[in-house]
Amino acid sequence: MPVLPFDIPFLSVFSSAAGGEEGVAFADTLLSLFILFLAAKMGEEIFRRINQPGVIGELLGGFIVGPFALGLAHVTLTAEVFAELGVVILLFTVGLEVRLDDLLKVGPMAIAVGTIGFILPILAGIGIGLAIGEDILPAALVGLALAATSIGITSRVLAEMGVLDRAFSRVILGAAIVDDILALLAIGVLSGLAEGDLGPETLVTLIAGLLFVGIGLALAPLGRRIPRKVFVWPKFADTPVVPVFIIMFAGALLAQFVGLAAIIGAFVVGLFVAETPVREEVEHGFRSLLGIFAPFFFAVTGANIDMSALLDPELLLIVLVLSVMGVLTKLLGGIIGSWRLGKWNSVVVGMGMSPRGEVGIVVAALGLSLALISQEVYAVLLAAVILTTLVAPVMLQWVIPRAPRDERHGGDEAGAAA
Protein backbone atom coordinates (compact mmCIF):
# COMPACT_ATOMS: atom_id res chain seq x y z
CA MET A 1 0.00 0.00 0.00
CA PRO A 2 1.27 3.43 -0.82
CA VAL A 3 1.84 5.52 2.24
CA LEU A 4 2.00 8.91 0.62
CA PRO A 5 0.11 8.74 -2.61
CA PHE A 6 -1.12 12.31 -2.98
CA ASP A 7 0.02 13.81 -6.17
CA ILE A 8 1.09 17.21 -4.93
CA PRO A 9 4.41 18.60 -6.10
CA PHE A 10 6.63 18.28 -3.06
CA LEU A 11 5.38 14.76 -2.44
CA SER A 12 5.52 13.50 -5.98
CA VAL A 13 8.53 11.43 -5.04
CA PHE A 14 6.32 9.43 -2.74
CA SER A 15 3.59 8.71 -5.21
CA SER A 16 6.17 7.61 -7.72
CA ALA A 17 7.65 5.40 -5.03
CA ALA A 18 4.24 3.94 -4.41
CA GLY A 19 4.01 2.90 -8.01
CA GLY A 20 3.08 6.06 -9.90
CA GLU A 21 -0.34 5.62 -11.46
CA GLU A 22 -1.37 2.99 -8.98
CA GLY A 23 -0.45 5.26 -6.09
CA VAL A 24 -2.48 8.09 -7.57
CA ALA A 25 -5.44 5.74 -8.22
CA PHE A 26 -5.27 4.58 -4.62
CA ALA A 27 -5.24 8.12 -3.24
CA ASP A 28 -8.01 9.19 -5.58
CA THR A 29 -10.12 6.20 -4.56
CA LEU A 30 -9.76 6.92 -0.85
CA LEU A 31 -10.43 10.62 -1.29
CA SER A 32 -13.45 9.96 -3.53
CA LEU A 33 -14.87 7.59 -0.94
CA PHE A 34 -14.49 10.24 1.72
CA ILE A 35 -16.10 12.93 -0.42
CA LEU A 36 -19.03 10.67 -1.37
CA PHE A 37 -19.62 9.76 2.27
CA LEU A 38 -19.38 13.34 3.48
CA ALA A 39 -21.67 14.60 0.70
CA ALA A 40 -24.28 11.93 1.50
CA LYS A 41 -24.29 12.83 5.18
CA MET A 42 -24.40 16.58 4.51
CA GLY A 43 -27.25 16.08 2.06
CA GLU A 44 -29.12 13.95 4.56
CA GLU A 45 -28.56 16.56 7.25
CA ILE A 46 -29.99 19.38 5.14
CA PHE A 47 -33.02 17.33 4.06
CA ARG A 48 -33.77 16.18 7.58
CA ARG A 49 -33.61 19.73 8.86
CA ILE A 50 -36.25 20.78 6.32
CA ASN A 51 -38.31 17.69 7.23
CA GLN A 52 -37.76 15.85 3.95
CA PRO A 53 -36.62 12.22 3.57
CA GLY A 54 -32.93 11.94 4.42
CA VAL A 55 -32.39 9.46 1.63
CA ILE A 56 -33.19 12.08 -1.01
CA GLY A 57 -30.53 14.28 0.55
CA GLU A 58 -28.04 11.43 0.35
CA LEU A 59 -28.87 10.83 -3.32
CA LEU A 60 -28.58 14.53 -4.14
CA GLY A 61 -25.39 14.87 -2.10
CA GLY A 62 -23.86 12.09 -4.20
CA PHE A 63 -25.18 13.67 -7.39
CA ILE A 64 -23.70 17.08 -6.55
CA VAL A 65 -20.15 15.81 -5.92
CA GLY A 66 -20.46 13.21 -8.70
CA PRO A 67 -19.21 13.25 -12.27
CA PHE A 68 -22.42 14.72 -13.71
CA ALA A 69 -22.27 17.82 -11.51
CA LEU A 70 -19.21 19.18 -9.64
CA GLY A 71 -17.02 16.17 -10.41
CA LEU A 72 -15.29 16.24 -7.01
CA ALA A 73 -15.60 12.49 -6.54
CA HIS A 74 -15.03 9.67 -8.97
CA VAL A 75 -17.35 6.69 -8.90
CA THR A 76 -14.57 4.11 -8.77
CA LEU A 77 -15.07 0.37 -8.82
CA THR A 78 -14.23 0.47 -5.12
CA ALA A 79 -17.05 2.95 -4.50
CA GLU A 80 -19.42 0.61 -6.36
CA VAL A 81 -18.30 -2.26 -4.12
CA PHE A 82 -18.91 -0.16 -1.01
CA ALA A 83 -22.32 0.74 -2.43
CA GLU A 84 -23.18 -2.88 -3.12
CA LEU A 85 -22.13 -3.94 0.37
CA GLY A 86 -24.13 -1.00 1.69
CA VAL A 87 -27.38 -2.13 0.09
CA VAL A 88 -26.62 -5.77 0.96
CA ILE A 89 -26.20 -4.83 4.64
CA LEU A 90 -29.30 -2.66 4.43
CA LEU A 91 -31.50 -5.48 3.13
CA PHE A 92 -29.95 -7.90 5.60
CA THR A 93 -30.90 -5.65 8.51
CA VAL A 94 -34.38 -5.25 7.02
CA GLY A 95 -34.63 -9.04 6.96
CA LEU A 96 -33.63 -9.04 10.63
CA GLU A 97 -36.70 -6.96 11.45
CA VAL A 98 -39.15 -9.25 9.69
CA ARG A 99 -40.61 -12.39 11.23
CA LEU A 100 -40.85 -15.17 8.70
CA ASP A 101 -44.34 -16.17 9.87
CA ASP A 102 -45.59 -12.63 9.32
CA LEU A 103 -44.03 -12.61 5.87
CA LEU A 104 -45.60 -15.95 4.90
CA LYS A 105 -48.99 -14.74 6.16
CA VAL A 106 -48.96 -12.00 3.54
CA GLY A 107 -47.56 -14.41 0.93
CA PRO A 108 -50.58 -14.58 -1.40
CA MET A 109 -50.98 -10.81 -1.23
CA ALA A 110 -47.27 -10.32 -1.96
CA ILE A 111 -47.52 -12.62 -4.96
CA ALA A 112 -50.53 -10.65 -6.26
CA VAL A 113 -48.79 -7.29 -5.77
CA GLY A 114 -45.53 -8.53 -7.24
CA THR A 115 -47.15 -10.11 -10.29
CA ILE A 116 -49.71 -7.42 -11.14
CA GLY A 117 -47.12 -4.73 -10.47
CA PHE A 118 -44.75 -6.49 -12.83
CA ILE A 119 -47.17 -7.07 -15.73
CA LEU A 120 -48.78 -3.60 -15.77
CA PRO A 121 -45.53 -1.66 -16.29
CA ILE A 122 -44.55 -4.08 -19.08
CA LEU A 123 -47.87 -3.46 -20.83
CA ALA A 124 -47.53 0.29 -20.33
CA GLY A 125 -43.94 0.20 -21.55
CA ILE A 126 -44.93 -1.76 -24.65
CA GLY A 127 -47.67 0.78 -25.34
CA ILE A 128 -45.31 3.74 -24.97
CA GLY A 129 -42.60 1.94 -26.95
CA LEU A 130 -44.96 1.26 -29.85
CA ALA A 131 -46.26 4.84 -29.64
CA ILE A 132 -42.76 6.27 -30.12
CA GLY A 133 -42.30 4.03 -33.13
CA GLU A 134 -40.31 1.10 -31.78
CA ASP A 135 -40.86 -2.51 -32.84
CA ILE A 136 -42.49 -4.99 -30.48
CA LEU A 137 -39.26 -6.46 -29.05
CA PRO A 138 -37.66 -3.09 -28.24
CA ALA A 139 -41.01 -1.93 -26.87
CA ALA A 140 -41.10 -5.00 -24.63
CA LEU A 141 -37.62 -4.13 -23.42
CA VAL A 142 -38.82 -0.63 -22.50
CA GLY A 143 -41.61 -2.26 -20.52
CA LEU A 144 -39.24 -4.66 -18.80
CA ALA A 145 -36.89 -1.85 -17.82
CA LEU A 146 -39.87 -0.28 -16.06
CA ALA A 147 -40.99 -3.50 -14.42
CA ALA A 148 -38.42 -4.45 -11.79
CA THR A 149 -38.63 -2.82 -8.40
CA SER A 150 -35.52 -2.12 -6.34
CA ILE A 151 -36.38 -1.91 -2.66
CA GLY A 152 -33.11 -0.41 -1.38
CA ILE A 153 -34.60 3.08 -1.25
CA THR A 154 -38.00 2.00 0.05
CA SER A 155 -36.62 -0.16 2.81
CA ARG A 156 -34.43 2.70 3.97
CA VAL A 157 -37.50 4.98 4.15
CA LEU A 158 -39.51 2.30 5.97
CA ALA A 159 -36.69 1.79 8.47
CA GLU A 160 -36.24 5.54 8.92
CA MET A 161 -39.94 5.95 9.68
CA GLY A 162 -39.95 2.95 12.01
CA VAL A 163 -42.70 1.10 10.15
CA LEU A 164 -40.92 -2.12 9.19
CA ASP A 165 -43.29 -4.00 11.50
CA ARG A 166 -46.38 -2.86 9.59
CA ALA A 167 -48.27 -5.20 7.25
CA PHE A 168 -47.63 -3.00 4.19
CA SER A 169 -43.87 -3.30 4.77
CA ARG A 170 -44.06 -7.08 4.77
CA VAL A 171 -46.17 -7.06 1.61
CA ILE A 172 -43.61 -4.80 -0.08
CA LEU A 173 -40.72 -7.04 0.96
CA GLY A 174 -42.49 -10.21 -0.14
CA ALA A 175 -43.58 -8.63 -3.41
CA ALA A 176 -39.98 -7.54 -4.04
CA ILE A 177 -38.87 -11.17 -3.91
CA VAL A 178 -41.63 -12.18 -6.35
CA ASP A 179 -40.72 -9.23 -8.54
CA ASP A 180 -37.05 -10.24 -8.60
CA ILE A 181 -37.87 -13.81 -9.63
CA LEU A 182 -40.14 -12.53 -12.41
CA ALA A 183 -37.38 -10.20 -13.58
CA LEU A 184 -34.96 -13.11 -13.67
CA LEU A 185 -37.38 -15.03 -15.88
CA ALA A 186 -38.33 -12.11 -18.10
CA ILE A 187 -34.74 -11.03 -18.76
CA GLY A 188 -33.90 -14.59 -19.73
CA VAL A 189 -36.87 -14.87 -22.08
CA LEU A 190 -36.34 -11.48 -23.68
CA SER A 191 -32.65 -11.93 -24.34
CA GLY A 192 -33.37 -15.43 -25.64
CA LEU A 193 -35.95 -14.02 -28.05
CA ALA A 194 -33.63 -11.20 -29.12
CA GLU A 195 -30.79 -13.60 -29.82
CA GLY A 196 -33.18 -16.09 -31.40
CA ASP A 197 -32.28 -18.98 -29.10
CA LEU A 198 -34.68 -19.35 -26.25
CA GLY A 199 -32.91 -22.37 -24.82
CA PRO A 200 -33.34 -24.38 -21.66
CA GLU A 201 -30.90 -22.04 -19.86
CA THR A 202 -33.77 -19.70 -19.10
CA LEU A 203 -35.60 -22.49 -17.35
CA VAL A 204 -32.49 -23.54 -15.45
CA THR A 205 -31.95 -19.97 -14.28
CA LEU A 206 -35.53 -19.70 -13.14
CA ILE A 207 -35.42 -22.97 -11.25
CA ALA A 208 -32.14 -22.00 -9.58
CA GLY A 209 -33.68 -18.72 -8.47
CA LEU A 210 -36.83 -20.36 -7.15
CA LEU A 211 -34.79 -23.04 -5.39
CA PHE A 212 -32.62 -20.43 -3.71
CA VAL A 213 -35.58 -18.50 -2.32
CA GLY A 214 -37.52 -21.68 -1.52
CA ILE A 215 -34.66 -23.36 0.33
CA GLY A 216 -33.82 -20.09 2.08
CA LEU A 217 -37.37 -19.65 3.36
CA ALA A 218 -37.61 -23.33 4.30
CA LEU A 219 -34.36 -23.18 6.26
CA ALA A 220 -35.21 -19.99 8.11
CA PRO A 221 -37.43 -21.62 10.78
CA LEU A 222 -34.51 -23.92 11.68
CA GLY A 223 -32.84 -20.79 13.03
CA ARG A 224 -34.97 -21.13 16.16
CA ARG A 225 -33.17 -24.34 17.06
CA ILE A 226 -29.67 -22.94 16.75
CA PRO A 227 -28.31 -21.86 20.12
CA ARG A 228 -26.15 -18.75 20.48
CA LYS A 229 -23.05 -20.80 21.19
CA VAL A 230 -22.96 -22.03 17.59
CA PHE A 231 -22.49 -18.45 16.39
CA VAL A 232 -19.70 -17.69 18.83
CA TRP A 233 -18.11 -21.12 18.53
CA PRO A 234 -15.16 -19.78 16.49
CA LYS A 235 -12.36 -18.53 18.68
CA PHE A 236 -12.20 -15.38 16.58
CA ALA A 237 -15.77 -14.51 17.50
CA ASP A 238 -16.52 -12.76 20.80
CA THR A 239 -19.85 -11.76 19.29
CA PRO A 240 -21.87 -13.29 16.44
CA VAL A 241 -21.19 -10.25 14.22
CA VAL A 242 -18.26 -11.59 12.19
CA PRO A 243 -19.68 -15.11 11.65
CA VAL A 244 -23.03 -13.62 10.62
CA PHE A 245 -21.27 -11.17 8.31
CA ILE A 246 -19.63 -14.13 6.59
CA ILE A 247 -22.99 -15.91 6.19
CA MET A 248 -24.64 -12.74 4.88
CA PHE A 249 -21.84 -12.13 2.37
CA ALA A 250 -22.01 -15.78 1.24
CA GLY A 251 -25.79 -15.55 0.82
CA ALA A 252 -25.50 -12.40 -1.26
CA LEU A 253 -22.83 -13.97 -3.50
CA LEU A 254 -24.85 -17.16 -3.87
CA ALA A 255 -27.99 -15.24 -4.86
CA GLN A 256 -25.95 -13.37 -7.46
CA PHE A 257 -24.52 -16.63 -8.66
CA VAL A 258 -27.94 -18.16 -9.34
CA GLY A 259 -29.02 -14.97 -11.07
CA LEU A 260 -30.95 -13.15 -8.37
CA ALA A 261 -30.05 -9.77 -6.94
CA ALA A 262 -27.46 -9.94 -4.15
CA ILE A 263 -29.85 -8.04 -1.89
CA ILE A 264 -32.42 -10.84 -2.13
CA GLY A 265 -29.81 -13.24 -0.80
CA ALA A 266 -28.91 -10.90 2.03
CA PHE A 267 -32.58 -10.40 2.86
CA VAL A 268 -33.20 -14.15 3.06
CA VAL A 269 -30.17 -14.56 5.36
CA GLY A 270 -31.59 -11.72 7.47
CA LEU A 271 -34.90 -13.62 7.75
CA PHE A 272 -32.95 -16.65 8.93
CA VAL A 273 -30.88 -14.80 11.53
CA ALA A 274 -34.05 -13.07 12.75
CA GLU A 275 -35.29 -16.48 13.93
CA THR A 276 -32.15 -17.22 15.95
CA PRO A 277 -31.44 -16.16 19.52
CA VAL A 278 -28.66 -13.80 18.36
CA ARG A 279 -31.03 -11.54 16.45
CA GLU A 280 -30.82 -8.56 18.81
CA GLU A 281 -27.09 -8.84 19.29
CA VAL A 282 -26.57 -8.92 15.53
CA GLU A 283 -28.95 -6.03 14.99
CA HIS A 284 -27.00 -4.01 17.51
CA GLY A 285 -23.61 -4.97 16.12
CA PHE A 286 -24.63 -4.27 12.53
CA ARG A 287 -25.81 -0.75 13.36
CA SER A 288 -22.40 0.83 12.80
CA LEU A 289 -21.76 -1.28 9.69
CA LEU A 290 -25.05 -0.01 8.29
CA GLY A 291 -24.16 3.56 9.25
CA ILE A 292 -20.82 3.38 7.43
CA PHE A 293 -21.70 1.31 4.34
CA ALA A 294 -25.27 2.27 3.44
CA PRO A 295 -24.55 5.94 2.66
CA PHE A 296 -22.26 4.77 -0.13
CA PHE A 297 -25.20 3.07 -1.83
CA PHE A 298 -27.24 6.25 -1.92
CA ALA A 299 -24.29 8.51 -2.74
CA VAL A 300 -23.15 6.28 -5.60
CA THR A 301 -26.71 5.94 -6.93
CA GLY A 302 -26.94 9.73 -6.86
CA ALA A 303 -23.52 10.21 -8.41
CA ASN A 304 -24.52 7.98 -11.34
CA ILE A 305 -27.52 10.15 -12.21
CA ASP A 306 -27.03 11.41 -15.74
CA MET A 307 -29.84 13.81 -16.51
CA SER A 308 -28.58 14.81 -19.95
CA ALA A 309 -31.66 13.23 -21.57
CA LEU A 310 -33.75 15.83 -19.78
CA LEU A 311 -32.15 18.68 -21.74
CA ASP A 312 -33.94 17.76 -24.97
CA PRO A 313 -37.63 18.81 -24.63
CA GLU A 314 -38.90 15.92 -26.77
CA LEU A 315 -36.94 13.31 -24.82
CA LEU A 316 -37.92 15.01 -21.58
CA LEU A 317 -41.57 14.47 -22.47
CA ILE A 318 -40.98 10.73 -23.05
CA VAL A 319 -39.06 10.50 -19.77
CA LEU A 320 -41.92 12.15 -17.91
CA VAL A 321 -44.55 9.91 -19.55
CA LEU A 322 -42.49 6.82 -18.73
CA SER A 323 -41.91 7.92 -15.13
CA VAL A 324 -45.54 8.79 -14.52
CA MET A 325 -46.71 5.53 -16.07
CA GLY A 326 -44.01 3.70 -14.11
CA VAL A 327 -45.28 5.07 -10.81
CA LEU A 328 -48.96 4.72 -11.71
CA THR A 329 -48.69 1.09 -12.82
CA LYS A 330 -46.85 0.08 -9.63
CA LEU A 331 -49.38 2.04 -7.63
CA LEU A 332 -52.19 0.21 -9.36
CA GLY A 333 -50.45 -3.12 -8.78
CA GLY A 334 -50.21 -2.30 -5.10
CA ILE A 335 -53.81 -1.14 -4.82
CA ILE A 336 -55.26 -4.12 -6.70
CA GLY A 337 -52.97 -6.68 -5.11
CA SER A 338 -53.26 -5.54 -1.50
CA TRP A 339 -56.70 -3.91 -1.55
CA ARG A 340 -57.68 -5.96 1.50
CA LEU A 341 -55.17 -3.96 3.56
CA GLY A 342 -57.40 -0.92 3.09
CA LYS A 343 -57.14 2.06 0.75
CA TRP A 344 -54.22 3.99 2.20
CA ASN A 345 -52.25 0.90 3.18
CA SER A 346 -52.50 -0.43 -0.36
CA VAL A 347 -51.40 2.95 -1.69
CA VAL A 348 -48.33 2.70 0.54
CA VAL A 349 -47.59 -0.73 -0.94
CA GLY A 350 -47.90 0.64 -4.47
CA MET A 351 -45.68 3.63 -3.74
CA GLY A 352 -43.19 1.40 -1.97
CA MET A 353 -42.89 -0.75 -5.08
CA SER A 354 -42.32 2.27 -7.32
CA PRO A 355 -38.56 2.84 -7.12
CA ARG A 356 -36.70 1.08 -9.88
CA GLY A 357 -33.00 0.58 -9.67
CA GLU A 358 -30.14 -1.53 -10.84
CA VAL A 359 -32.32 -4.15 -12.57
CA GLY A 360 -33.91 -1.47 -14.75
CA ILE A 361 -30.46 -0.16 -15.58
CA VAL A 362 -29.22 -3.67 -16.38
CA VAL A 363 -32.19 -4.26 -18.68
CA ALA A 364 -31.57 -0.96 -20.48
CA ALA A 365 -27.87 -1.84 -20.84
CA LEU A 366 -28.86 -5.27 -22.13
CA GLY A 367 -31.10 -3.66 -24.75
CA LEU A 368 -28.26 -1.40 -25.81
CA SER A 369 -25.76 -4.27 -26.06
CA LEU A 370 -28.25 -6.34 -28.11
CA ALA A 371 -28.81 -3.29 -30.34
CA LEU A 372 -32.52 -3.46 -29.49
CA ILE A 373 -32.64 0.18 -28.47
CA SER A 374 -30.72 3.32 -29.39
CA GLN A 375 -28.47 5.44 -27.17
CA GLU A 376 -31.31 7.95 -26.91
CA VAL A 377 -33.85 5.41 -25.68
CA TYR A 378 -31.19 4.11 -23.28
CA ALA A 379 -30.68 7.58 -21.80
CA VAL A 380 -34.44 8.06 -21.59
CA LEU A 381 -34.89 4.76 -19.74
CA LEU A 382 -32.14 5.58 -17.24
CA ALA A 383 -33.66 8.97 -16.53
CA ALA A 384 -37.11 7.42 -16.05
CA VAL A 385 -35.72 4.75 -13.70
CA ILE A 386 -34.02 7.43 -11.63
CA LEU A 387 -37.10 9.66 -11.47
CA THR A 388 -39.20 6.82 -10.01
CA THR A 389 -36.46 6.47 -7.39
CA LEU A 390 -36.57 10.14 -6.44
CA VAL A 391 -40.37 10.40 -6.32
CA ALA A 392 -41.07 7.44 -4.04
CA PRO A 393 -39.47 8.60 -0.77
CA VAL A 394 -41.26 11.94 -0.89
CA MET A 395 -44.59 10.27 -1.63
CA LEU A 396 -44.05 7.58 1.03
CA GLN A 397 -43.40 10.19 3.68
CA TRP A 398 -46.70 11.74 2.71
CA VAL A 399 -48.90 8.63 2.48
CA ILE A 400 -47.57 6.50 5.35
CA PRO A 401 -48.96 8.78 8.09
CA ARG A 402 -52.36 8.47 6.37
CA ALA A 403 -52.38 4.67 6.45
CA PRO A 404 -54.27 3.60 9.57
CA ARG A 405 -52.70 1.01 11.86
CA ASP A 406 -55.90 -0.91 12.59
CA GLU A 407 -56.69 -2.22 9.14
CA ARG A 408 -58.22 -5.65 9.23
CA HIS A 409 -55.58 -7.74 7.49
CA GLY A 410 -52.06 -7.85 8.75
CA GLY A 411 -52.18 -4.79 10.94
CA ASP A 412 -53.10 -6.77 14.01
CA GLU A 413 -50.37 -9.36 13.73
CA ALA A 414 -47.94 -6.56 13.14
CA GLY A 415 -49.02 -4.89 16.35
CA ALA A 416 -48.70 -8.16 18.24
CA ALA A 417 -45.26 -8.89 16.84
CA ALA A 418 -43.88 -5.44 17.68
Contact 153, 391 (CB under 8 A): no
Q: Which stretch binds its own copies (CB under 8 A): 11-19, 224-232, 345-353, 390-398?
A: 11-19
What span, in angstroms and rounded, lies between the C-alpha atoms of 301 and 312?
Answer: 23
Whichever of 180 and 275 has its CB closer to its own copies, that residue is 180
Whichever of 163 and 366 has its CB closer to its own copies, that residue is 366
Q: Which of 127, 135, 283, 362 binds its own copies (CB under 8 A)?
A: 362
Q: Which of 24, 27, 113, 176 binds its own copies (CB under 8 A)?
A: 27
Whichever of 66 and 342 has its CB closer to its own copies, that residue is 66
Beta carbon of residue 153, minimum distance to its own copies (angstroms, whole number): 14
Q: Which stretch binds its own copies (CB under 8 A): 102-110, 253-261, 374-382, 404-412?
A: 253-261
Whichever of 31 and 324 has its CB closer to its own copies, that residue is 31
Please give the span between the terminal C-alpha atoms of the chain, in angstroms, as a whole number: 48
Contacts of 216-219 spanning 24+ positions with Cβ under 8 A: 216/251, 216/265, 216/268, 216/269, 216/271, 216/272, 217/100, 217/104, 217/268, 217/271, 219/272
Residue-wise over 297-335: b if at least 16 C-beta within 10 A, else e?
bbbbbbbbbebebbeeeebeebbebbbebbbebbbbbbb
Contacting its own copies within 124-183 (CB under 8 A): none
Contacting its own copies within 264-323 (CB under 8 A): 285-289, 291-292, 300
Contacting its own copies within 365-384 (CB under 8 A): 365-366, 369
Beta carbon of residue 389, minimum distance to its own copies (angstroms, whole number): 13
- Residue 345: HSE in the Cβ half-sphere, 13 Å Cα cutoff: 22
Q: Which of 187, 271, 319, 322 binds its own copies (CB under 8 A)?
A: 187
Q: Tell whether residue 6 is a contact of its own copies (CB under 8 A).
A: yes
The site for its own copies, by CB under 8 A, has a size of 81
356 beta partners: 149
Q: Tell whether residue 231 is a contact of its own copies (CB under 8 A).
A: no
Contact 388, 321 (CB under 8 A): no
Q: Which of 140, 232, 363, 377 binds its own copies (CB under 8 A)?
A: 363
What span, in angstroms and rounded, lies between the C-alpha atoms of 202 and 209?
Answer: 11
Reduced to 3 states (helix: H, G, I; strand: E, B; else coil), residue 374 is coil
Of 171, 186, 165, give the one whose Cα is nearest residue 334: 171
Beta carbon of residue 167, minimum distance to its own copies (angstroms, whole number): 26
Q: Which stretch binds its own copies (CB under 8 A): 2-10, 117-125, 223-231, 345-353?
A: 2-10
Beta carbon of residue 218, minimum distance to its own copies (angstroms, whole number): 24
> What 8-state DSSP symbol labels residue 132?
T
